[in-house]
Structure formats: C-alpha cells, structure tokens
Amino acid sequence: MVELSKERVLEELKRIAAPDGRGNIVSAGLVSDIIIDGAAVTFALSADPSRIKTMEQLQGVVEKAVRGIPGVTRATVALTAERGPSRGGSASAAPAGARQTGIPGIKHLVAVASGKGGVGKSTTAINLALGLKALGLKVAVLDADVYGPSMPKLFGLTGRPLASDKAGKRMKPMSRFGVEVSSIGFLVDEDTPMIWRGPMVMSALTQLLREVDWSDADIMIIDMPPGTGDAQLTLAQQTPLSGAVIVSTPQDLALIDARKGLAMFRKVSVPVLGIVENMSYFVCSKCGERHDIFGHGGAKAEAERLDVPFLGEVPLDIDVRIRSDSGEPIVATAPESRHAAIYKDIARQVWAAVEGGNLARPAPKISFE
C-alpha cells in the first residue's frame, strides 16, 4: 500500500479548482497545514464568509476527494473564515502591526469593548449609537463580535444585505432607526459552525469595514468581540479607532477583566474614552427603592483610580432587556425614559471626547425624578 503523506494529499487537492476560478485550491492558498494521524487526515479550508454556501459545497467535494485516497479512512475538513494569502483583488487585512487608514466618509470609529462576555457590551453599543443619533449625528454600527453577532437581533433586522455592484463584491449596509448597520450575522447562518482564528477575525472585519458601501457618518460604533485575546488586540491595533468605551458590571471579576481591556487599548495607543458601569443597580418598580445587588460603584472608583473618565451607570432594568432582546432598543423606542436619558448622556460625553464638544445640537438636560 502507498504510504500516506502530505504530498499525496496535496497532489489530490491540486486537482480541485478554487471557487474564484483562479487555479486550484492549493495554489490559491486556501488549504492550511495538513495533519496526518495514522489514516486520518485533517486540515482547514479558508472560506470567505460572504460565500459560505459555495464554500460548504466545496468542503463536501474536498472531503470526498481526500477520503478517496488509498489509505485514508477519515477526512476532516474544517471551514475557517480566513482569506487565502494569494487571494488578492478585494480588501485584505493589513500586515500585522500596521494601522489601517481611515474609512472614507466616516469621521470617527469608536470601539465598545468588554473584558468578558455577558456584561451588556452589545446593549450598550446599540443604545450608545442611538443616543448619538438622537444628538443629531449621522451614525453607523459595525458588529465586529464575530463569535456571537447580536446586532441583527438587537436591531430587529433579518435577511441578507443587498449587493451594491454587479460582481457581488460589495454590499449595502442594512438600516433601522436611521442607523446603518453591518454584521457578520447577516452573512452567516446562526447555525453555521465557523472556527475563527485571530487573523480571520481581522479579515472578516476588514471586509465589513471596507466592502460595505457605508454612507457618510460622523461616528461609527464598533461592537468588539468580548475579551482581550490576540484577535481583539489585532483589531484594536489595525482599526483606525478614535477611541474605545469599556463596559463593565460592578462585580469585581468583571472589573479585573475591564482593567485588561484598558491595558489592551493603552498598549496600542487607542484612547480609552471611559468606562460604563452596566447593570449598576436595580430600582424596584413596586417600591421605588434602589438595590445595589452587585455592589454598585466599583467601576466608578476603579475609573478614578485608573484615571479614565467614568461615563455613567446604567441600572439593571427588565425593560432594557425585553426591548433589547426583541429588537426594539430602549433609546429608539422609549426615548423619554430614564434609561434613554442615561444613554444619551453617555453618548454626549463620547462625542465630546472624540470631537472636542462640537455637538450638532445642544445636549438634552437630564433630570431624575
């Protein structure tokens, strides 16, 4: 029997055409390193997230071809959302360490980040965006949380973005509440398993940033993937950010994570515009009494200690959650609510920080009953 080798597998793969008609999948750089373990062959195939159906078909063809090689009993081909190194033509990630140039027509890019998931980063991002809109600004939202894109749900948007050119290479953003939005969630089915490695996150983001026909905007809010790993660091480094907002809950653990977030942005010289304390306290709707269930105030003290502006406290509120999770964000659908006032106040501070206070309209007065 012929001994199984990488060369033998490559030889077989070279017979399969690349989806864009440019040579074969090996010469197009779509095949990762091949791992051979006895009779099992495993490797990854780089997929363009916007062409996931084609890639899934290709995945089937490739697996079948590898299984056909004498001596192979198992072939596992994983789709990964990374462009092959030799696939040129459209936008690709900048070389590591290089900060990308700005996005034409978009004045400021502001990241909303958190040290860990579930602290309300996306809820803050959308309501901050809507708060900025309420101040009279032109606003766009980019959902860079590729691990768990939530902007389609939060905006109550379904369907796929329309192509804006004949070749289908560029997309139109979706839009609701007067805010343009793009998300990997519009391109990939929720149940499509995708494996993301650091560089792929960046190339997917680059695509959403540069291959979407955004209208001019004063500010684009970027909902970052949670955490402070390599992917987040690269993103912070390679996106031309005006600044970052860090969302934390009052719990100590979340604050430790928030400190990591702060350190990450400082490392790549992105100004931290401030910290938002989410789920800060709870006001009982029956008795009106305030309950500091998570030990409120930690983020404010921490912000002072770290010399970062404290942007505000957002209470835990069932209305925020219900509206958020049903695609009716509170700032757009209950603009007179106390919560909307808090988000608008945060928005005003963020805009002032990036723009030096040049508001299109004076900020509304905030009053608490």
Please give the residue ranges that form the binding site for ligand ADP (CB under 6 A): 114, 117-123, 150, 226, 278-279, 314, 316-317, 320-321, 324-325
Q: Which residue in this structure is represented by tokens 């009779």?
A: 39
- Pairwise CA distance, residues 137 & 62, whole Å: 49
- Pairwise CA distance, residues 65 & 75, whole Å: 9
- Closer by beta carbon to ligand ADP, 117 or else 364: 117
State in Å, rounded, how far the first CA of the chain is from the last one.
Answer: 83
Tell me the closest approach of the beta carbon of residue 257 to ligand ADP, in angstroms.
11
- Closer by beta carbon to ligand ADP, 180 or else 317: 317
- Pairwise CA distance, residues 63 & 221, whole Å: 40
The torsion region of residue 136 among left (phi > 0), alpha (psi -120 to 50) and beta comes to left
The type of residue at 94 is A
- Pairwise CA distance, residues 193 & 7, whole Å: 29
- Closer by beta carbon to ligand ADP, 56 or else 325: 325
The torsion region of residue 104 among left (phi > 0), alpha (psi -120 to 50) and beta comes to beta
- Closer by beta carbon to ligand ADP, 26 or else 224: 224
Tell me the closest approach of the beta carbon of residue 249 to ligand ADP, in angstroms.
9
Tell me the closest approach of the beta carbon of residue 164 to ligand ADP, in angstroms.
29
Number of other residues whose CB lies within 10 A of the CB of residue 345: 17
| Element counts in the chain: helices (H) and strands (E) | 11, 12
Tell me the closest approach of the beta carbon of residue 366 to ligand ADP, in angstroms.
17
- Closer by beta carbon to ligand ADP, 161 or else 226: 226
**17: which DSSP letter?**
B
Tell me the closest approach of the beta carbon of residue 154 to ligand ADP, in angstroms.
8
Q: What residue number has its CB nearest to ligand ADP?
A: 120
**Cβ(100)–Cβ(235) under 8 Å?**
no
- Closer by beta carbon to ligand ADP, 120 or else 185: 120
Tell me the closest approach of the beta carbon of residue 268 to ligand ADP, in angstroms.
21
- Closer by beta carbon to ligand ADP, 121 or else 170: 121
Residues 227-232: contacts with CB under 8 Å, at least 24 apart: 227/114, 227/115, 227/116, 227/117, 227/257, 228/115, 228/257, 228/260, 228/261, 228/263, 228/264, 229/198, 230/198, 231/196, 231/197, 231/198, 231/201, 231/202, 232/113, 232/264
Tell me the closest approach of the beta carbon of residue 114 to ligand ADP, in angstroms.
5
Tell me the closest approach of the beta carbon of residue 193 to ligand ADP, in angstroms.
20
- Closer by beta carbon to ligand ADP, 218 or else 317: 317
